[in-house]
A and B are shown apart, each in its own frame.
Chain A
Amino acid sequence: MVSLNKNIVRIILIASYILIIALIISGISALFGYLNTGADRSAMLHTEIKKIEQYSPKVVWSPLANEGRPIDEESLNAIENDYLDAWYVKHVAYKTNTTNGIKDYYTDNARLNLFDFIEMNSNENITIESTTLEHHPTLEFFSEDGQLAVITDKDVVEYKRMFKAETLVLESKEISTYKIVLLLEDGFWRIRHLVKESIDDNDVEHTKITTDNLNIKGINYYPQATPWDMFGDTFSKDILAKDFEIIRGAGLNTVRIFIQYDDFGKADVDQDKLNKLKQTLDAAENANLDVVVTLFDFYGNYDVLDWTLNMRHAETIVTSIKTHTALVGWDIKNEPNLDFESRGKANVIAWLDNMISFVKSVDKNHRVTIGWSNTQSATLLKDKVDFVSFHYYEDLENLDTSIKTLQAEISNKAIVLGEYGMSSYSGFWKPFGSSQEDQANYHKKVQEIIAENNLQFMSWTLYDFTKIPKEVVGRLPWRKNTQKRFGFIDDNGGQKESFKYISKQ
């Protein structure tokens, strides 16, 4: 008995000793690890290039036929960079009414003109959010000693928003022609003279594409294993092919997919991701499915000075897949109305308006829509989009009325119910949730309403998911768990009851 007790004491002693040692070691290693952070050897000499892309409007140089010395590409690039930077610092200066950076890009005399404006606007409490979207410069003259250049910048598309006492008073899109004299001083091409030769309002009417032959019966798609990370490392063409066959087999003809702004590399689009996107469209084409591509997912800045970067992003993606036969249309942004409160409705609407025009200017053949999250917002920009789409997760009782109201307001365009669905989650976090049966009934009823109103649709979603990133619905478990059970097919690949009503057969 005594020896047993002794052994117990021994074991406890040894165990506690080991535990304490382990704790101390882990503590020291944590401290050591903390002190080591930031000491990256490759960063020791600060040789990395710090330049980040912050402003990249579309610049199209006219063929070179300048007077004076023939220019080389390096000099032309230097002029372009500094000239665009001059615009950028001007935008920032008028937005904040400060003079930071102006000295670098305007000569002694020229900068006074900007300072005058800044002083005047700041006294009057006027601020201007502005950006330029396009430049079409022509090099007119380059001096023999390479120190002076004259350019004519034709059709500069300028977007401006004027605020007086922080209230928006005017939104304006102008197209102007400038003539600029630049001098090379201290290694900077600085603006010496800037004269606006002409100015006009920029109203570009894009041709509307009819929606008569549009027939969307589809589903929002993410692969089961990688929701919200469709183009990641685990991208698999085979899984897509298999899933698309299931979708096609269920009698649907369209999938809606999402392109995340950050994930695709922002302004500098990742070629690898782009290839995966193309493979996705190929897979859809093989399965005889159409694809609605939703751009700018998880993007939420809308700042006017961010526009040019957004446009480069959209330009690359749209250009690279606009000829693909599987493409049926562009959804500019998923549920942008949710950002109205945090980012300002005017900001968001202006951004969308601009982006619709831009996407239409790059791709004249495909329809454009916006995936509004409710019917109330769906009439916004209805004259700009080619078809209207809205999402519906509210009570089905009101769906019919909502659709009727919407149809009354939008008579000449197809209306697509872009997302709808019901979670079959019922459990610890949501004891009174819905069952699979409820979900099936929901889809049955939705299909009836859709048929009755002659609506086009894309449901949410093919699969139940096992993990939901926090960016989607936040961290709260009752939301996350609900979000996991919206599928027509469960975790194990079995069809849920609702699968019968995935489309109206």
Chain B
Amino acid sequence: MRLRHIYIGLLGLILLSSFAVIQQNEMAIDLQLLTTQTEFDAGSAVVLKFSASETIKPMLYCSSSYGSTLVSPSTDGSNIIYSIPQNICQKTGQVQWKLINTMTPLSGQFKITPKQEVASMETYIGPPSIDAGGTDYAMLVVIPTDSLDNPLPENTLVNVKHQFLSSESSDGVKTNNFIAYKNIYSQQESGRMLVSSESLNTNSKEFTITVFPAIPTDFKIVEKRPHNYADGNQVTTFKTSIIKDKQDNVVSDGTYVSFFITNDKGNSLKTSGTTINGVATAMMIHPDYETQWTIKAYIDGMAESEVITLNYNQVVEDFDVIFSKNNRAISVGPIQSFMRQMIPDGLQVKLLIYKDGKLLNTLTKTSIDGFVNFNLKPNSLKNNSYNIVIKTAGLEKSFKAIQLW
């Protein structure tokens, strides 16, 4: 009899417990969100509170901007509490949550909004150098972020300030897509432009945009020479006028200028220089015979100068040629310059040897103390009669049928 009671009692317990299980499940359906706030400032603690009379503990799924996780509950009397992890509370964006393992899926969303403060002004500026003239520009991009590295909401005012020469200006730009940007145009002048920005009383550091002069305009050249004789010794210096862009800014130092010289035979010479304070200087040694130079300077692809012409006068009027030692020693000179002074060392003298109208050999020497001596060696020139021509300083002397022995 007693056994039966125990048996019935046991059965009853089992029944009850199964009932309890069912109740538990029903409770799960009754879980209700008590937290009504759906917008939180970044960094504030987010706690989701659910009412539930039974102690069931489903986990909470949470998905935020950067990732997802599962949150385990804690209880507070009759309520279930989920403390959302810090790294979710700190980053802005829409967060979705879902209670899992419950009969009816309970889900919802809340939003983390950025703090209304600016902790850093992340600034990007580019390109770092632009041309003067008002058409070229650099772009300033600012991402104002709060102390938790969240970008601020749309339409946050950012003041973009810039200083150039005597002007200072400040423009309000509103953020859109997390960023505020402004194109900063150059003015007529070249120089350095300083840029900074400010939002909600936080200022960025200083940035510099270099405004380079625009492309150079055409210019003039002048020449300077110690005399106008073609002595093959002195140097003529060419100088440009101050080269400027169309806004009158002096071009950057180091602008490369090429000078092209054409003489009256149509041959070209080239020399070059780079500008300092807008002026480029280049040099060329004088010719050693009478000629006319036409000079024009270029900045490749951008600008060119006017043409100037220079005349060089003949300095050597005549020279003597003396044959000795079986006509194999030839002395040329004295070669005299414009004041009858001996020509400075280094004047080129050529000796050409012809036989029956055919050029056999060319000997080239430079003058020393106004003279040049040639020695015709028997090894290379056999005893015979030759025509000999001597050329120097644009002059030419011929000697027919010189007998060598």
Contact = CB atoms under 8 A, between A and B. Distances in A.
Given A170-B98, A193-B151, A199-B96, A143 B65 contact: no
Interface string A200-212: 1100000000000
A195 B94 CA distance: 8
Interface in B26-78: 59, 61, 63-70, 72
A194 interface: yes
Nearest to A198: B94
Given A164-B59, A197-B94, A117 B69 contact: yes
A117 B87 contact: yes
A181 interface: yes
B70 A150 contact: no
A178 B91 CA distance: 13
Contact of A147 (B68, B94, B126, B178): B126
Given A144-B138, A169-B101, A181-B151, A193 B61 contact: no
Contact of A196 (B65, B87, B150): B65
A199 B178 contact: no
A452 interface: no
Interface stretch (A118-126, A257-265, A475-483): A118-126
Interface residues of B, number: 43
A453 interface: no
Contacts of A198: 94
Given A196-B65, A197-B94, A164 B179 contact: no
B178 A150 contact: yes
A491 interface: no
A144 B101 contact: no
B143 A144 contact: no
Contacts of A169: 59, 61, 70, 100-101
B66 to A, nearest CB: 4
A79 to B, nearest CB: 15
B177 interface: yes
Contacts, number: 128
B124 interface: yes
Contact of A94 (B67, B100, B126, B183): B67
Nearest to B126: A145
A172 interface: yes
A152 B178 CA distance: 11
A172 B61 contact: yes
Contacts of A355: none
Contacts of A67: 176, 181
Given A147-B124, A197-B94, A181 B179 contact: yes
A196 B137 contact: no
A143 B126 contact: yes
11 contacts: A113-B65, A113-B87, A114-B67, A116-B87, A117-B66, A117-B69, A169-B101, A170-B100, A192-B143, A198-B94, A199-B94
Interface of B: 59, 61, 63-70, 72, 85, 87, 91-96, 98, 100-101, 107, 109, 124-127, 137-139, 141, 143, 145, 149-151, 176-179, 181, 183
Interface of A: 67-69, 90, 94, 109, 113-114, 116-117, 120-121, 124, 126, 128, 130, 140-141, 143-148, 150, 152, 160, 162, 164, 169-170, 172, 174, 176, 178-179, 181, 183, 192-201
What are the 10 tightest A-B residue pairs by CB atom distance, in nearest-first order? Answer: A145-B126, A144-B139, A117-B67, A196-B93, A116-B87, A113-B66, A196-B65, A150-B177, A195-B93, A140-B177
